[in-house]
Structure 1
Amino acid sequence: MKIQTLIDPARVHLDVQASSLEDALTTVSDLAAVGLKVTSEVVARGLLEREELGSTAIGGGFAIPHCKLRGVSGIAITLARFREAVAFGSSEEETVRFVFVVLSPPDQPALHLQALSHIARTLKSENIRRQLLEVDDPAEIVDVVKLATDGGRL
C-alpha cells in the first residue's frame, strides 16, 4: 500500500486554531475521528497519553502525533496546519505549525511504524516542509505529499 493513497484532501485541514498543545491535540482529534469508529475523546486521550511519553515534534515546525486505538480498522492519517505556531514538548521554543496525525489498530504495529518512518523521512526535506507550509489548498497538499513519497510503500 502506498502511503499517498492514505491521504485524502478531505482529511487535510488548513488554518486550524489552537492555543496550546492540549488544545491542538483535542482539535486535531475532532478532525481525525470523522468517519472512524472511535470518538474524538478516545483519539484525544490516545494522542495526549502518547505525547506524555515524549514529544512527537520532529523539528522544523512539524510533529507526528500518533497512537494505536481499538476501533481503527487501518492506518488513518489526518493533516492539520495551525494558523499560529503551537508549543509542543517540554520546551516553549519547540513550536509546531503542521501535524500528520497517524492512527492505527493495536494489532498492526509494523504498519504503524512504517507509516511514521515514511512520514518522518518525507519531512526531512526542507523543500517539502516549505511547500506544506505555503500551499493553501488541501488537494495541493496531497499532491506535495504524493510527489514526495512517490514509490513509498507500507
Structure 2
Amino acid sequence: MIPLNHVLSPELTFIEDFGASKKRVLQTIAERLSQTLSDHSDIAIFDQLVARERLGSTGIGSGVAVPHCRLEGLDAPVALLVRLPEAIDFDAIDRQPVDLIFTLIVPAEATDEHLQLLAGIVERVHDPDELKRLHQCPDAASLYQSFSGAAH
C-alpha cells in the first residue's frame, strides 16, 4: 500500500475556509491542486471532481467527505486535506454537514493500490477517536502530522 505521506504533503493540508457551498469548496480544492499539478488546470480537476460527485456524493458521513477522481496524464496519486472552520452541506449519506475533506486524485489508469489507498482513508476517518484527534489539531502542520503519521 502507498504510504499516505507519499500522496499528501504539508503544502496541501489546510485549516481554512474554502467556501460556503460544496461547489465552491470543490473549486477551491481544484485551484489549490492545480498550483501543484502544473500540467493540469483547475477547470479540468474541478470538472473531474464534479463528474464523480454526480455518480453519488462522496460525503461518507460523520462530517467527512472524500472527493476523488481519475485524471489523464497524472503520474502518481496526489491528495489534499482541509478542515473547514464551518461545516457545509455536502449531500452526505447521513445528511450531516461536512468539515473534514480529504481529496484524492489518481492517474486515469488507477491500480488496485490506489483503490486500497482510498479504502484505507475511508476506514481511518470512520474511527471516532481519529476524527476527534483531527478536529483538535490547532494548525495545518499538526493536522498533516496527525493524519499522515497515523497512517503508517
Q: TM-score, normalised by structure 1?
A: 0.89
Q: Match of 2:11, as an amino acid?
A: A
From 127, 132, 135, the equivalent of 1:133 is: 135
Describe the shift of the 1:93–1:70 C-alpha distance in structure 2 as closer, same or farther (beyond 3 A).
same
Percent sequence identity over aligned pairs: 25
Give the distance between the partners of 2:32 and 2:48, measured in 1 at CA.
14
Q: Say whether 1:47 aligns with 2:52.
A: no
Q: Which residue is 1:2 aligned to? A: 3
Q: Match of 1:140, as an amino acid?
A: S
Q: Which residue is 2:115 aligned to? A: 113
Q: How many residue pairs end up in the alignment?
A: 150
Q: Deviations over 1:106-135 (max 9, x none)?
A: 112323311210101111211111121221
Q: Deviations over 1:13-68 (max 9, x none)?
A: 11123111111111111112222121111111111110010010111111100000
Deviation at 1:10, TM superposition (A): 0.6
Q: Which residue is 1:26 aligned to? A: 27
CA RMSD of aligned residues (A): 1.8
SS at match of 2:73: coil
Deviation at 1:98, TM superposition (A): 1.0
Q: Which moved more, 1:30-39 or 1:92-101?
A: 92-101
Contact 1:32 1:101 survives alignment (8 Å) = no
Gaps of 5+ in 1: none
Q: Which residue is 2:64 aligned to? A: 62
* Mapping 1:90-109, distance limit 5 Å: 93-109=95-111
Contact 1:18 1:84 survives alignment (8 Å) = no
Q: Which residue is 2:126 aligned to? A: 124
Contact 1:47 1:67 survives alignment (8 Å) = yes
SS at match of 1:12: strand
Q: TM-score, normalised by structure 2?
A: 0.90
Give the distance between the partners of 1:59 and 1:90, measured in 2 at CA.
6
Contact 2:18 2:29 survives alignment (8 Å) = no
